[in-house]
Amino acid sequence: MPAALLGPATLLLGVIMLLVGGDVLVRGAIALSQRLGVSPMIVGLTVVAFGTSAPELALNISAAVRGNTDLSFGNIVGSNIANIGLILGISALLKPMAVHTALLKREIPVMIVVSILFAAMAMTPRTGLPRIGRAEGIVLLIGFLAFAEMMRRGATRGETPEKPPPKTPVGLAILMLGAGLGLLVAGGTLGEHGAVGVARLLGLSETVIGLTVVAVATSLPELATSLMAARRGHTDIAVGNIVGSNIFNILLVMGTTATIAPTPLPPGGWRPLATMLLLAVLLVPISRTSRGSISRLEGAVLLAIYTASLTLEVLLSR
């Protein structure tokens, strides 16, 4: 295959695997949540969010070991921007997204606090340069353990599922989860490599590739899962997946990355940080309107903010 076609072909194959994996994962998550007597939102916040964050974790560990901290920073911040602006925006355009009251009371405030903490760490000068050092990375990992404990307690409270337990055996539901996650990780990896290949063909810089193309590519599992969940009417899984993934990206992925290699704030890094904070805070008022859901119009606003920030970064890189 000609080199010029390799990137687009790899991207297409990755997207197909993501769509199939997202559908299988959602089916397994719904069946498992109903069998265990916990709400789909809890499963979306934990198992699904952790699984769809796997590409970010794998890429950032690899980048940290190689010392490519600009790519690590851009991937995390760009992924969190894409999760709300792109993925939640597109999902809401497809179908208005109901936001569970528990998300508004617990997890969305946690996401906002964690995002503010991350931005403060990244912009505080240390030894002359703003960066997230190993000590901050350990603090983030401790925060991840605390969040995981909060989720465990939330699951044991046993919010009853909306539908009666399905006939799907627990073992089969777990197998579907594993198969879906495997396809998402493999598809995300292929999608990432294909997207980078396409970006290089277009002449984009490495920094912009990290913040935009790679961030979107590693967010493709969240996109596939959220779209499939929305299509099946389980918007609680879709929104929980986005909020959980953003928390995981900062606490687990950034915590692990900074512990391996201190991560400086790249030139102009304050702009995407500001966009990430804006979208996180904006999620509160738009979730309280339209009878506790994100409407199609609000989805369009999220998508417009994402598109504007992406365009700005590309233009400033020229």
pLDDT tens-digit readout, 99-151: 888 788 888 999 999 999 999 998 887 656 678 888 999 999 999 989 888 87
Contacts of 93 (CB under 8 A, 6+ apart): 296, 299, 300, 303
Q: How far is it, in rounded angstroms, from Cα 243 to Cα 31? A: 21
Q: What pLDDT digit, counting tens, does each position of 50-64 carry?
A: 766 776 777 677 667
Q: How far is CA 103 from CA 46, 108, 161, 284, in A?
A: 13, 6, 16, 10
pLDDT given at position 280 = 95
Instruction: Pick 216 or 294 by higher pLDDT.
Output: 294
Confidence of residue 216 (pLDDT cuts 50, 70, 90): confident
47-71 as b/e, with b when 16 or more CB fall inside 10 Å? bbbbbbbbbbbbbbbebbeeebbbb
Instruction: Pick 251 or 264 by higher pLDDT.
Output: 251
Position of tokens 């999902």? 91
Range of the domain at 94: 3-317
* 118, 96, 304, 12: CA torsion to nearest 10: 90
Confidence of residue 160 (pLDDT cuts 50, 70, 90): very low
**What ranges in 37-130 are assigned the alpha helix state H?**
40-43, 49-52, 54-66, 69-81, 89-94, 101-102, 108-123
> Average pLDDT, stretch 286-309?
88
pLDDT given at position 299 = 93
> Average pLDDT, stretch 296-315?
90
**Spatial CA neighbour of 314 closest among 208, 186, 243:** 208
Please give the tally of structural domains in the chain: 1
Q: What is the CATH number of the domain that holds 134?
A: 1.20.1420.30
Confidence of residue 166 (pLDDT cuts 50, 70, 90): low
Whether pTM > 0.85 for this model: the answer is no
Measure the CA angle with vertex 17, ends 165 and 253; round to 5°. 80
Q: How far is it, in rounded angstroms, from Cα 309 to Cα 68? A: 23
Q: How far is it, in rounded angstroms, from Cα 44 to Cα 38? A: 11
Length of the chain: 318
**Spatial CA neighbour of 174 closest among 21, 31, 23:** 31
Q: How far is it, in rounded angstroms, from Cα 259 to Cα 69? A: 12
Q: How far is it, in rounded angstroms, from Cα 256 to Cα 60? A: 8
